[in-house]
Structure 1
Amino acid sequence: MTTARQPPRRTLDEQLIGAVIPTPLPRPAQPPAPMPQLPAALPAAREPVDDIVFDVARPDADGRVAAGALLRALRWPSGHRLHVNVTDRLLLVTARPDGRHTVGARGALPLPVAAQQMCGIGPHQVVLLAAVPARDLLVVHPSNTITRLLSNLHAAVLRGASHAH
């Protein structure tokens, strides 16, 4: 009768061979994640902020609005570089030398599609434009924001009028 040969038992003093388990290669440190871009600070006022110029417009299919009068009030010529930021469901447009957008040849103001979507501005929806020359700033208000603000104002006026009688 033949007996099956059993493998030799391991002893506690055995060690693994280095060639079987290679030394890990040094890896370069991962570059740090980029910091998120913070909203741009509003420019300091050049003069009192009582001079605000308003206009109403509709973005065209390319997301541009005709804003010639406001651009003249701001002294932003064709080709002027702009930065567009979204805050509180409003578009803030400021002049910046490193801006990604430019004033169009016919006085058209670009409103990026992503920014429009973040503000709830639908295709061809009316927007209220407010130029603040003292701050070198143009604010784009979606019509739904204007409707809400005016509704709240009218409700307050009507409440006050009913108490006056």
Structure 2
Amino acid sequence: MTVSQSNETKTSSLYECDFCAWAEETAFLLRSGKLSEIDLDNLIDEVEDMSRNERRALLSNLRVVLMHLLNYKYQPEKRSSSWLSSIREHRTRIGDAFRDSPSLRGYFLEMFDTCYQNARKQAADETELHLNIFPQVSPFTPEESLNEDFLPK
């Protein structure tokens, strides 16, 4: 086993027992230009996970916005400041994600209908209204769902 393979095995071992120490060591090795000592397989996995996590967070925030817009529209007698606050907070999170990663806009549009279907089911569960009360197709456009001034009538 070469020194480089030994160091990579050591770093890979560190990944299994102390992720934070592994990340710090990997950053140190990158800054130092010691690329042959990097635990490349785990580094690749972590970079890919970063993208997946950003996408999951985007979808989660969109589902919350859509669910509360549905609640707001279909249960006007139960409108609350917590719904409004939640809509604003999750719209803000989506806007922040777009500023940090503009490429997420395409994913947002691609997944909008899927998110709506999930939000529709969640709204039915939360409101205890029958699922059929909520339209099959979103009554909100992607633009409306993000518009800070939009609330359904």
Q: Normalized against structure 2, the TM-score is what? A: 0.23
The structure with more radius of gyration: 1
What TM-score comes out, normalization by structure 1 length? 0.21
- Higher-helix-fraction structure: 2
